[in-house]
Chain A
Amino acid sequence: MRYSGFQVLKQALSGHKGWGRAWRDPEPQSQYDIVIVGGGGHGLATAYYLARSFAKARVAVIEKGWIGGGNVGRNTTIIRSNYLLDGNEPFYEYSMKLWEGLEQDFNFNAMVSQRGVLNLCHTDAQRDAFRRRANGMRLNGVDAELLDAEGVRKMAPFLNFDSARFPIKGGLLQPRGGTVRHDAVAWGYARGADSRGVDIIQNCEVVGFRIENGICLGVETTRGYIAAAKVGVAVAGSSGAVMAKAGMRLPIESHVLQAFVSEGLKPIIPGVITYGAGHFYVSQSDKGGLVFGGDIDGYNSYAQRGNLPVVEDVCEGGMSLMPMIGRAKLLRMWGGIMDMSMDGSPIIDKTDIGGLYFNGGWCYGGFKATPASGMCFAHLLATDTPHPTATAYRFDRFRKGLMIDEKGMGAQPNLH
């Protein structure tokens, strides 16, 4: 069924009894052309673009739990393409362009809202760095504006401008950045893929890969063996654990990142605002809750929950930036597992095992990349060549010294 205003009226007049389920719940077949491991945003987007753009019919997505239960439902919903380095910026801008046409494309309301992303700077050196980044963005055809303190004050008068320690000197604004309703992204891609023939198989965990003579023949799952000509793994925080089943060690550590939502408040924060003197970012959802987060906890974890020191650190950042939020009550907090790579940038590449492909290392920036990640992984799976915007995301960049290190932190995953 195609969703439309007409359908809403029609279903309203017939008691909303005709909607039907948005995707099927099929039994796994014994064989597929392509099996995607991981029914998160990236896996579902990959399946969607495989079916839509590359006309691959026999595709399955295998998910351990339920779709949308992992990081695609746990992030702080921010989209942006404000990167500096050439390996990254064209890819993230491609993702932004896909976001801009996404809802029409997959016929689902994902509430893509380009309300702007504002990064604040607090020192002259930081402003210089932002000017450089803005120039890098503009050279790649991306919108970027450098605001002075007055410009920031017009947008967000409630900020703590005159803090003696961290006065706000200005900010880097990407007007086309914003937020997206993250659950709807998973659901939209799932529905779009399903309607094009992709089998989405939930509650089906991959327990091993069947590999003979260096070729991956299929996956062993809790619901039996599934043969596949190609297997694509897109499991984010579980990358290390899943690829270990294929005997691979990755340039990745898994870390926990926490996120927070306050009680619903009247509209106050116009877009996404990030603090430059600490690690704190905040936006306001359409329901009114302040959605915010900060640093990862900093130690290896698969626990999907963090500890209190980082909660305190994030709240200190928030209080320092906008003291008014001290009166707001915290409603919910949770953790997700991030696949932190050695240079802070992702990997979309073949592995040394024939027929086995990998998509991961998204650190804590995977949500904004969802559409382009899906498209580029689909391109790689369908054509065996990297998509033009993702040629830098190779496994061998670490061996060859071609790291894409936006923050310049080196091989220390908990600092990216």
Chain B
Amino acid sequence: MIINHPLLGPRDSQEFTYLGDASLIERPDWQAADAVDQFYDYLYLRDNPAGLHRELWYHEQGDRSWLVVTRNTLTHDITSVELARDVAKAKGRST
């Protein structure tokens, strides 16, 4: 698979480490009243779709940026690659 890095251009997926579903960006508030339930969902449960999947890849052997890759799990086709930083900021996160 070739991942089209937003800053560096097309890179071999071997340079990356895979983490999982991009929802892992949205870490729950540990002070919320239902934090235990929220963390159970966050840590253990997955949508695991057969089709388009937004997922986190880390460019470990490159510029060490985290990317959100949208990839079809049935065909391995990659349709979009964003910097995870931009995705998080668009959701109102400061860092």
Contact = CB atoms under 8 A, between A and B. Distances in A.
Nearest to A341: B44
Contacts of B8: none
Interface in A290-336: 298-303, 307, 309
B69 to A, nearest CB: 9
B10 to A, nearest CB: 15
B47 interface: yes
B30 interface: no
A239 B48 CA distance: 9
Interface string A204-243: 0000000000000000000000000000000000111100
B45 A250 contact: yes
Give the dominant DSSP class at A's interface.
Answer: mixed
B76 A301 contact: yes
A398 interface: yes
A300 B13 contact: no
Give the dominant DSSP class at B's interface.
Answer: mixed
A302 B18 contact: no
B1 interface: yes
B13 A414 contact: no
Contacts of B47: 240, 244, 249
Given A307-B1, A309-B14, A414-B20, A302 B46 contact: no
Interface residues of A, number: 26
Contacts of A309: 12-14
A117 B23 CA distance: 40
Interface in A388-416: 398-399, 411-414
Contacts of A253: 20-21, 46, 48
B79 interface: no
B6 interface: no
Nearest to A397: B44
Interface in A249-273: 249-254
A47 interface: no
A252 B46 contact: yes
Output the residue of A253, A300, A342 with the most chain B CB within 10 A. Answer: A300
Contacts of A244: 47-49
Given A240-B50, A298-B18, A398 B73 contact: no
A239 B50 CA distance: 10
A300 B69 CA distance: 12
Interface string A371-388: 000000000000000000
A303 B18 contact: no
Nearest to B19: A412
A254 B20 contact: no
B74 A240 contact: no
A252 B48 contact: yes
B75 A307 contact: no
Contacts of A241: 48-50
Contact of A411 (B43, B73, B75): B43
A251 B40 CA distance: 10
Nearest to A339: B48
Interface in A120-134: none
Interface in B51-89: 53, 55, 71, 73-76
B48 A398 contact: no
A303 B14 CA distance: 19
B48 A414 contact: no
14 contacts: A238-B50, A240-B46, A240-B48, A240-B50, A244-B47, A244-B48, A244-B49, A249-B47, A251-B44, A253-B21, A299-B71, A307-B76, A309-B14, A411-B44
Closest 8 CB pairs of A and B: A240-B48, A249-B45, A251-B44, A302-B50, A398-B44, A241-B50, A299-B18, A309-B14
